[in-house]
Amino acid sequence: MFIFFSIVVDHLSYIIILLNLPCKDSHFDKMSDLTSEQVLSNLKKGELQCREKKGGSSDVWTNFNEIVDMQDQFIDYVMCKNCEHILKYNYKIGTSTLKRHKCSFDEKQPKITSYWTTKNFPTAAKDVTTEKIVNFVCKDLRPFEIITGQGFREFAQEMINIGSKYGYLQVDELFPHPTTISRNIIKSADFLKKKIALNLKDIFEIVGGAFTSDMWTDDYRKISYISLTVHYIDDTWKMKEQILAASKFPDVRHTADNIKKVILNILKGYNLVPDSSMKRYTFVTDSASNYISAFKGLNHIPCFAHR
């Protein structure tokens, strides 16, 4: 029913949080402050793009596309699919402005996008790209599927954008030192953790949610790990799940008391302190006796698949 990672490394919880959880940041704030003219200019330069509205229930979304940045983050602007007029929109404003939009679409008049040029890459360029990716995979022992990863493709697109803007650059002048990456990952993870904590606080104070947890041992190094994932329904009635921790279990026996202590410490890290609101928490685990005893007195449901 619930499947968890089989092998993780120390401090993986920070990295998992960073890679799996989207969060608005200063980059988003800058994008949302753009004028409609600046948005149009960035669309033409390929720095922004349009996409179908995700999860929109209103009929108005049959006529509008969301405008997102290269990280696929919505920037509070939409574009009419017919006349390509750009309008300000977010959930606070609502769709009333979009419904009042008077579309001036004329099939005989060329669209704005008809003037945007799309580059057709020659076969030679694609061949060189394939060759370089093959060398990258072989030299650095990376999986073939790495080029399908969202993070890799966003990185590659950003490198293309930087090259088109600044021209020829030496990679050594652009890339940071590994220590800089490590330091910024921890910093970003701490920032995102605070954002997640605020979000979960509102959810559990009003509605509640569920947690799934599991433990496993690395057969090679004989190191034990524990994970905790939260599951909840957001304000758009979509089921969400976020990994809160996947970290090394302390070098102590796997007793019920020790397991409970670790789980509660993880919750405290997100300000989900064990108080009266614990009645809104439901824990789902396998039927191991230590897990069952750990959650005794709390809302605990044994996983059906593990019975």
C-alpha R_g of the chain: 24
- At residue 120, the pLDDT reads 67
Alpha helices in the chain (DSSP H): 12-20, 26-32, 36-44, 96-99, 123-139, 150-166, 171-174, 178-206, 256-269, 289-294
Name which residue leads in pLDDT, 216 or 100.
216
State pLDDT tens for residues 247-296. Answer: 999 999 999 999 999 999 999 999 887 665 577 888 999 988 999 999 88
Name which residue leads in pLDDT, 202 or 152.
152
52's CB contacts (< 8 A; 6+ apart) are: 61, 65, 66
Name 285's bridge partners.
302
* Confidence category of residue 6, pLDDT binned at 50, 70, 90: very low
CA 85, CA 103: separation in Å to the nearest integer?
8
Name the residue with tokens 């409970």: 260
Ramachandran area for residue 276 (φ above 0: left; ψ -120 to 50: alpha; else beta): alpha
For residue 283 the two structure tokens come to 């824990």
Q: Full-prediction pTM beyond 0.85?
A: no
Residue 294: closest CA among 270, 276, 248, 267: 267
| pLDDT tops 60 at residue 115 | no
Average pLDDT in the chain:
80
State pLDDT tens for residues 199-246. Answer: 888 888 888 889 999 999 998 888 999 999 999 988 888 899 999 999
Q: What b/e sequence results for 174-196 when a residue is b if at least 16 CB atoms lie within 10 Å of its CB, and e otherwise?
A: eeeeeeeeeeebeebbeebbeeb
Q: Which of these ranges, 92-96, 111-115, 231-235, has the smallest mean pLDDT? A: 111-115
Instruction: Give CA angle at 275 (274, 276), nearest 5°.
Output: 135
Q: What is the 3-state secondary structure (H, E, C) of 173-197?
A: HHCCCHHHHHHHHHHHHHHHHHHHH
Percent composition of the chain: helix, strand, coil (DSSP 3-state, to 5):
45, 20, 35
First-to-last C-alpha distance (Å) of the chain: 11
- At residue 2, the pLDDT reads 38
Average pLDDT over residues 50-65: 77
Sign of CA dihedral 135, 140, 143, 148: negative
What are the angstrom distances between the C-alpha of 97 and each of 5, 107, 172, 176, 241? 46, 24, 48, 44, 33
Sign of CA dihedral 261, 230, 72, 192: negative
Structural domain boundaries in the chain: 12-20+181-306, 34-115, 133-175
- At residue 307, the pLDDT reads 65
Instruction: Give CA angle at 51 (45, 52), nearest 5°.
Output: 160
Percent of the chain with pLDDT over 70: 80
Residues in the chain: 307
Name which residue leads in pLDDT, 92 or 256.
256
- At residue 258, the pLDDT reads 94
| Beta-carbon-side half-sphere exposure of residue 247 (alpha carbons within 13 Å) | 16
